[in-house]
Chains A and B, each alone.
Chain A
């Protein structure tokens, strides 16, 4: 256990030595260096208690979801787990779904660790912040591990035969002040490269995802999603989450998931690793709810050490020196 705490201290030391906040505030209007903050302060949202500010709106009068969003964690609820709001935090697997989950747990290396594109809805369950840029006909969600997905807002109809994508094929429309994004055409966990969430739950190519996004005021963003997947789940799964707007100057930083794929494929055990009793896989054996920063921990913005820790294994910096 000691070595993991030591590594955390080492990351903090690295940040101190570089004089750099290991977060995402490299740009500001001030000459004063950014104040040192905890990893939780950098990554997690805090309840907003100030006066309500109006929802920003576009030329079409619709809410603008543009912003850098930090999740409001719910007490006792896990991150990275689409069963968060399900009874007993268990998804309603079909028999095929149970078999697919077992396959993911025993045969599939975490696709995110392989630098494969993290899919939707997995990205939406992450504890890490994300950013939205919204324009009248096109919206992008930009996620922390560098992946982003596009959404068309131009009134098109879904394709009858969409290409299978990790991110699906997403089309949005407005229902009053709610942005409804419908996605179809996903890849399938049967390929061994695609998970529904951080906990290795399966996702099928027949899945349909409906996201309902609202921004009731300047500071808050809410999501209610319904995931329907008749291959792996007996009934639709619902999931809700809220985020608060980030601080001025904050934004999604660069992250490069690189080089580790061949090593990961050869060395990393399949499955998500131990999942806590609270349903949270977490980051590392000491139960961190957020990862160390910088995410690479050893080498700035690269992800080469991140996955060892996530799998409850030592990072290179934790290994004894020869």
Chain B
């Protein structure tokens, strides 16, 4: 239950860090409070201006470089890989159901311990991320000072004996103007500190993730993701999402997450209560408190 407080605390803390990251050339807007502040710094706002053409990089491909904030979808939960599924529930196998129960009762939220969040979890996160795109190599950097670097090219192969990791082993290639990233050799929720998403859904060592990234114009980055995990899910999971480009001069900042793992002993397992709207904790739209509240605020 205290995990809630810590997670929220880290969320608010990272918002304040981002507040200081704005370019000195482009002063940030006047300080806001509460939800308004979080919204300005973490969530993308729909772009309403004229369409600006997609920039292209040295490789002639759409340049995915930038600091990207997620667009909220009305009626859809955040941090839930089942957001496009009926009732926001994933198609668990029997083994998957057991793995979910295990995660919720035995695994402290890995991100609360500052373990690498991994793939595909980061793609469902409510936090912004930054991309550095070069012709043969692309880097994704995430809020908690973590990153994944992926080689891009035709005919790249993954060592079948690659060790399991949180971000897995990935290769990428271009299909026209779409960057396709394929990831395998991921860790397993049954024995590792890894979740599929914020809600503590499980992921297995059989998980295979295909991400199809496009930048249809300057202001938008779009993902169509397919997660196949025959061990825990009866069929592939589709996940679609759009991010908006932040104004020039904004970027990711240092975030010293790892000091938090000293509190691991106080954090309970699982994601806590997930509401009928598919959201965990305070949800996706409710205002966040100014200070982390006690466990009574979470109905537990």
Contact = CB atoms under 8 A, between A and B. Distances in A.
A20 B166 contact: no
A53 interface: no
Interface stretch (B84-92, B99-107, B149-157, B292-300): B149-157
Interface in A228-253: 249, 251-252
Interface stretch (A75-83, A219-227, A257-265, A283-291): A257-265
B151 A251 contact: yes
Contact of A27 (B24, B113, B157, B265): B157
Given A25-B159, A33-B159, A135 B134 contact: yes
A166 interface: yes
A301 interface: yes
A31 B148 contact: no
Given A133-B149, A254-B116, A300-B163, A140 B141 contact: yes
A135 B65 contact: yes
Contact of A249 (B114, B151, B165, B261): B151
A33 B162 CA distance: 11
Nearest to B264: A262
B207 interface: no
Interface string A17-54: 01111100111111101100000000000000000000
A233 B279 CA distance: 53
Contacts of B141: 140, 148, 150
A158 B23 CA distance: 9
A240 B171 CA distance: 35
Contacts of A256: 115-116, 165-166
Nearest to B147: A148
Contacts of A257: 258
B261 A166 contact: no
Contacts of B134: 64, 66, 133-135
B251 interface: yes
Interface string B124-146: 00000010111001110100011
A28 B137 contact: no
Contacts of A29: 153, 155-157
Counting chain A CB atoms within 10 Å of each CB, the highest count among B130, B132, B153, B157 belongs to: B132
Interface stretch (A93-101, A109-117, A307-315): A109-117
B6 interface: no
Nearest to A136: B65
B20 interface: yes
Nearest to A140: B132
B151 to A, nearest CB: 5
A115 B157 contact: no
A159 to B, nearest CB: 5
Contacts of B163: 18, 20, 22, 26, 294, 300-301
A278 interface: no
Interface in A167-203: 167, 193
B258 A116 contact: yes
Contact of B149 (A21, A58, A131): A131
B157 A146 contact: no
A267 interface: no
A19 B114 CA distance: 30
Contacts of A163: 17, 20, 253
A261 B261 contact: yes
B23 A154 contact: yes
Contacts of B155: 29
Given A19-B161, A142-B139, A261-B261, A167 B147 contact: no
Given A20-B163, A146-B147, A256-B166, A27 B132 contact: no
Contacts of B58: 58-59
Contact of B169 (A26, A30, A33, A149): A26
B24 A156 contact: yes
B13 interface: no
A300 B164 contact: yes
B256 A117 contact: yes
A160 B139 CA distance: 30
B259 interface: yes
A299 to B, nearest CB: 10
A213 to B, nearest CB: 16
A148 B145 contact: yes
Contacts of B164: 300
Contacts of A115: 114, 258, 261
B14 interface: no
A322 interface: no
A27 B158 contact: yes
Contacts of A150: 130, 141, 251-253
Interface string A279-307: 00000000000000010000011000000
Contact of B165 (A25, A167, A259, A301): A301
B167 interface: yes
Contacts of B57: 135
Given A20-B163, A27-B169, A135-B134, 8 more contacts: A26-B185, A27-B159, A29-B157, A146-B145, A158-B24, A163-B253, A259-B264, A262-B262
13 contacts: A18-B161, A25-B159, A26-B158, A27-B170, A29-B153, A133-B134, A148-B145, A150-B130, A154-B25, A156-B23, A163-B20, A165-B253, A258-B114
